[in-house]
Amino acid sequence: MSAKRCHSPSTTRTLRSLGHYENLLAAMHECKNTTVAFTSWINSKLFLSDDVWKTSLQLLQKNIPHLRLNIEWQDGKRYFKYMDDPYVDMEIVDVTSDDDWKMVHEDMMRVQFLKENAPLWRVKILRMLRPSDISHNSDYRSYALNGYPSFVVFGIHHVILDGTSYILMLKKLLQYLNAVSKDDPIEKDEVVTFHRNMEALLPQDQMVFKWTDYYKVLKERIHSLFPYHSPCMKRFPPPPNSGEEYTKTVALEFTISETERLIAKCKEHQTTVHGALVAAASIALVNAINAGATPRPADVPTSHAVNMRRFMPPEFQNAFGLFFGLTNITVSVPAVATYQSFWELAKSSKHALHANLNNGNVIQGCKIRGHLLPDDNSVKGLLASDQCKYDMGTSNIGDCDKHCPPGEADDNVHATRIVTSAAMQNLSKLFYHYLHKFRGRFCYNLDYGTNWVCEVNAIKQAEMTVELMKMAAGEEKY
């Protein structure tokens, strides 16, 4: 095992104060939530030495300004500043099992980035000793024959990067690893800009506060007086308090053929893959609630991450930073789901989400958030609640190969799979479903807080959600 502090030059200066959403996530982070874990499976034709990793990660930090940031307080406000002496907080560990990534991934979500002049991210490389050391039970689909497999696990403060940014970052890391491992020059290195906060980049005519926004704030506050009582929590009470709450993940994969069939079925039924994910996750939840009892329909409140770049000018479509919002819909699940009702639910979920995107609800959510959660104390109050506001949340970046292409066949280094998570144990969601298309196949994982859900039930939810999507992609009736 070897730990490295890799230094690179920078200019010390305060940049700007955090925007409201950045402040909200910073306050959550200080309460041990929202730390992101991003893991990628890496395969290389040549052995990647410590120096290759160190140099590549230094280049990554040098050319992505977000990775040189720290947060400091000035006059009662949080400000971004460049680190006085930038370094990469990295560790390289030799492993013999391709299951070791999961514990490291989950441990990354427990990291807090609170030190002065320290980076807001860290990375751990799990390197297989030799290809011959890999267990015969390993999933060889993830690795090229006779290659050198490894895992790169990032822990990241959510205020500096979002889901799209992680994929863009992986693209750059692959570029540097390929160049450094073969002593090639870095070509066509795109300039990365540290932008203003998200609220300042959204259409300003839509960010003007109106009477309808005050009405929405009032409506939300009244609604909070009558908290949602999750039937799932009633059916499956939270595990006994162990004194240590954290986030765990269940990761599953689709084959390329299963991925292609699901996409084709979604087009046939005039819906989206995200609509199918919402339908499958909602049905899986209601099926678990109804198991062993008289089946009953249920309304499932759900929350969904939105890439806010869609509302920004074209030059921001590949921007690094924190540019995501949230929108909510309630999914009405029948007592007994069938093949037909699955696709009806997928279609209705798609329409409800698209309506929120097109009618201004998502941008309105960004506006009123400052009134609903105006300061750190309000955030702490939210996190201290034992009420479940949403049974589930979702995140779907889409086809990640558009942001991080597979590369050329003669490249030394390739990424084959990804898993993304964020610490959520004190957030008001039972489950968080992630679905990303990467290298031709869907990568799925379900996150859950150990204080909300036991491991057995989480695994069942994940497996049932994926099984329902695979069944819907075929001709099976259920």
pLDDT class of 343 with cuts at 50, 70, 90: very high
- Residue 154 lies inside a defined structural domain of this protein: yes
Same domain, 318 and 456: yes
> What percent of the chain clears pLDDT 70, i.e. is strictly above it?
93
Q: What is the mean pLDDT of residues 283-293?
A: 95
Residue 148 is assigned to a structural domain of this protein: yes
Asked if residue 293 belongs to a domain, the reply is yes
Inter-axis angle of helices 455-473 and 273-290, nearest 10: 130
Whether residue 170 is found in the same domain as residue 216:
no
CB atoms within 10 A of CB 116: 10
Residue 460 has pLDDT above 50, yes or no: yes
Q: How confident is the model at residue 461 (pLDDT cuts 50, 70, 90)?
A: very high
448: left (phi over 0), alpha (psi -120 to 50) or beta: beta
- How many CA atoms does the CB half-sphere of 267 hold within 13 Å? 5
- Mean pLDDT, rounded, for 37-53: 95
pTM, rounded to two decimals: 0.92
Contact between residue 188 and residue 175 where contact means Cβ atoms under 8 Å apart = no
Q: Can you tell me the mean pLDDT for 343-370?
A: 95
Q: Does the pLDDT of residue 131 top 80, yes or no?
A: no
pLDDT level of residue 389 (50, 70, 90 thresholds): confident
Q: Tell me the mean pLDDT in the region 401-425.
A: 94
> Residue range 264-284: average pLDDT?
97
The answer to whether residues 149 and 259 belong to one domain is no
pLDDT at residue 87, rounded to an integer: 96
In this model, does residue 21 exceed pLDDT 50?
A: yes
Instruction: Find the range with the poorest average confidence among 133-142, 426-435, 440-449.
Output: 133-142
Q: Are residues 319 and 441 in the same domain?
A: yes
- pLDDT score, position 269: 96
Give the mean pLDDT of the chain: 91
Is 192 a member of any domain? Answer: no
Identify whether 109 is part of a domain: yes
Q: Are strands 121-128 and 148-156 parallel, antiparallel or unpaired?
A: antiparallel
End residue of a domain, out of 150, 181, 212? 181
pLDDT category at 146 given cuts 50, 70, 90 is low
In a domain, 186, yes or no: no
Which ranges in 192-239 belong to alpha helices (H)? 198-201, 211-224, 231-235
pLDDT band at residue 291 using 50, 70 and 90 as cut-offs: very high
Q: Which of 122, 147, 181 is the last residue of a domain?
A: 181
**Residue 106, domain CATH:** 3.30.559.10
239 & 381 share domain: yes
List the domain range (segments joined by +) for residue 92.
Answer: 2-181
Contact call for residues 416 and 439 (beta carbons, < 8 A):
yes
Q: Which two tokens stand for residue 385?
A: 């609640």
How much is the average pLDDT of 32-46? 95
Q: What are phi and psi of 458, to 5 degrees?
A: -65, -45
For residues 130 and 47, state if they share a domain: yes
CA of 405: how far to CAs of 416, 437, 464, in Å? 11, 12, 31
User: Are 394 and 249 found together in one domain?
Assistant: yes
The confidence score (pLDDT) of residue 476 equals 56
In the chain, the number of structural domains is 2
Q: How far apart are CA 230 and CA 390, in angstroms?
A: 8
Please tell me the predicted confidence (pLDDT) of residue 138. Answer: 42
Q: What's the pLDDT tens digit per position in 68-90?
A: 999 999 999 999 999 999 999 99
419 contacts 378 by C-beta, under 8 angstroms = no
Residue 6 has a pLDDT of: 53
To the nearest 10 degrees (0 to 180), the angle between helices 20-30 and 376-384 is: 50
Let me know whether 137 and 227 are in one domain: no
- Shared domain for 123 and 246, answered yes or no, is no
Q: Do 312 and 164 lie in a common domain? A: no
Confidence of residue 327 (pLDDT cuts 50, 70, 90): very high
The pair of three-digit structure tokens given for residue 374, joined into one six-digit string:
């105006």
Q: How far is CA 272 from CA 215, 264, 292, 341, in A?
A: 32, 10, 32, 15
Q: Give the closest residue to 284 by CA, choosing from 462, 455, 444.
A: 462
Q: Which residues pair with 95 in a beta bridge?
A: 128
The CATH number assigned to the domain holding 365 equals 3.30.559.30
Q: Among 152, 181, 210, identify where a domain stops.
A: 181
Q: Would you state the pLDDT for residue 196?
A: 95
Whether residue 263 is found in the same domain as residue 391: yes
Closest CA to 415 of 172, 252, 249: 172
Q: How confident is the model at residue 14 (pLDDT cuts 50, 70, 90)?
A: confident
Same domain, 405 and 270: yes
- pLDDT > 50? residue 9: no
> Considering the domain boundaries, does residue 190 fall inside one?
no
34-38, 229-233, 266-270, 285-289: the lowest-pLDDT one:
229-233
Query: pLDDT above 90 covers what percent of the chain?
Result: 81
Does residue 300 sit within a domain?
yes
pLDDT band at 97 (very low <50, low <70, confident <90, very high): confident
